[in-house]
Amino acid sequence: MPLHKGSNRDKEPSKERRRRALNPFFGEADPTAGMTSAPPRHRLPDGPLPPSTAYGLVHDELMLDGNSRLNLATFVTTWMEPEAGVLMGECRDKNMIDKDEYPRTAELERRCVAMLADLWNAPDPTTTVGCSTTGSSEACMLAGLALKRRWAARNADRYPAAAKPNLVMGINVQVCWEKFCNFWEVEARQVPMEGGRFHLDPQAAAELCDENTIGVVGILGSTFDGSYEPIADLCAALDTLQEHTGLDIPVHVDGASGGMVAPFLDEDLVWDFRLPRVSSINTSGHKYGLVYPGVGWVLWRSPSDLPEELVFRVNYLGGDMPTFALNFSRPGAQVVAQYYTFLRLGRDGYRAVQQASRDVASGLATQIEKLGDFHLLTRGDELPVFALTTAPDVHAYDVFDVSRRLREHGWLVPAYTFPANRQDLSVLRVVCRNGFSSDLAELLLEDLRLLLPELRGQRHPLSHDREVATAFHH
């Protein structure tokens, strides 16, 4: 978060403070040589520093960051095997977009797309088109663009003069979908939450569709509470809509997390390309794909689902290179790491890893429920994620107090308010990932037990005395 203008912390330190800012052992040989002052913070220094000195300064400052392994807010992978790290280091200087110069890296990307097409039951994995991205946000942008272009081609006689496209989704979608609608001038039609339903309702979504609807987004699963949206029921509702109106509305499945969980743990759940109405799917390789950030994937059912005008063929360094990503230059390391992880784990390995995460989530949710102070909204039995709020008879503290006190113990557990129609509901959300073991879950539970007596002794929630978060950035 940027510092406020005029803040004391935003000013350059005094010469005396800069003189004391360096550890003398940063010196290459003589611990006192050349250690008169630290470099400025907000402008380029006048000259270079020894590499050990530059490293020490940056390293020391980064110690103030939170511990990523204890960050139960993020879905992003925080642990990989050392061998994966070695491979990533060997590929970080390769430009992923330069497929002519790095053909083997390009081949590994192609194999990953084919593996995902097979995993998601594409009709013909050999013809399924897709690409890697920097994450699911870029993947969603590409999928949304394809939906809009296909709709525009079908409505060329009305668009843009007499028709404005719209996209239907639940209000629980990740913020990237709101960005897509804003950036590409698409009306966002959102199904609100109601009562105990915290994601899209299929019939309500179908009722929002009209001749200007480019598609409907289904989420597998929701970042708010970890629940899967009923993709098959959504497709069935749109099938009925087509029977009655003739409107043929495609579905995009945002499987940022669930796309790499459901195929292994919920094999009987039909949500993917087995449903003819599903035209595209995205996932985050850096979430339950088990790769460090940032890598995402987006696949289309067939080449006809990706308009040809979105594919650019670039004569780059002597080769004809088709590309349809938004970004251009980026390292090949994450794609190589994804292929390594696919090769390393296989279906059985992924099943074991994801089942372990789900077991930790479900077990921790049950133990927290037994404390008696909390009410579970979800139990971690879909995504390894669960959401909870305080029990109805708890009045001394709220979820924001719990989040604040857990942070004092090093745990990052987000507290946030739900969106429209359920803004009365504030929750804690716990994301269990590979690397968050049952031992760590027990430590979290111990810390929660320790702080509960103090929270119960409060006169009222401390959030009553301050402004609290009203939105959550997924």
Look-up of token digits 């429920």: 369
CB atoms within 10 A of CB 474: 18
Question: Structure tokens of 228?
Answer: 């899967």
User: Among residues 341, 243, 247, which one has the least CA distance to residue 286?
Assistant: 341
Whole-structure pTM value: 0.90
Across 48-68, average pLDDT = 87
Share of the chain above pLDDT 70, in %: 88
- Supply the pLDDT for residue 471: 41
- Supply the pLDDT for residue 1: 42
Distance in angstroms (rounded) separating the CA atoms of residues 59 and 67: 14
CB atoms within 10 A of CB 29: 6
Instruction: Work out the pLDDT band at 28, boundaries 50, 70, 90.
Output: low
- Supply the pLDDT for residue 25: 62
CATH architecture classification, 82-341: 3-Layer(aba) Sandwich (3.40)
Instruction: Work out the pLDDT band at 97, boundaries 50, 70, 90.
Output: confident
Q: Give yes or no for a contact between 383 and 261, defined as CB atoms under 8 angstroms apart.
A: yes
Cis status, amide bond into 285, omega within 30 of 0 = no
> What's the chain's average pLDDT?
90
- Per DSSP bridges, beta strands 296-300 and 278-284 are antiparallel
- Supply the pLDDT for residue 320: 59
Enclosing H/E stretch for 416: strand 415-417
Lowest-confidence range among 66-70, 141-145, 310-314, 416-420?
Answer: 310-314
Across 146-157, average pLDDT = 96
Lowest-confidence range among 97-111, 310-324, 360-374, 443-457?
Answer: 310-324
Enclosing H/E stretch for 385: strand 385-390
Distance in angstroms (rounded) separating the CA atoms of residues 410 and 405: 9
According to DSSP, residue 83 is labeled H
- Supply the pLDDT for residue 474: 46
- For 273, what's the count of Cα atoms within 13 Å in the CB-facing half-sphere? 22
CATH architecture classification, 357-465: Alpha-Beta Complex (3.90)
Domain locations in the chain?
Answer: 8-62, 82-341, 357-465
- pLDDT tens profile 216-256: 999 999 999 999 999 999 999 999 999 999 999 999 999 99
What are φ and ψ of residue 401, in 5° steps? -65, -40
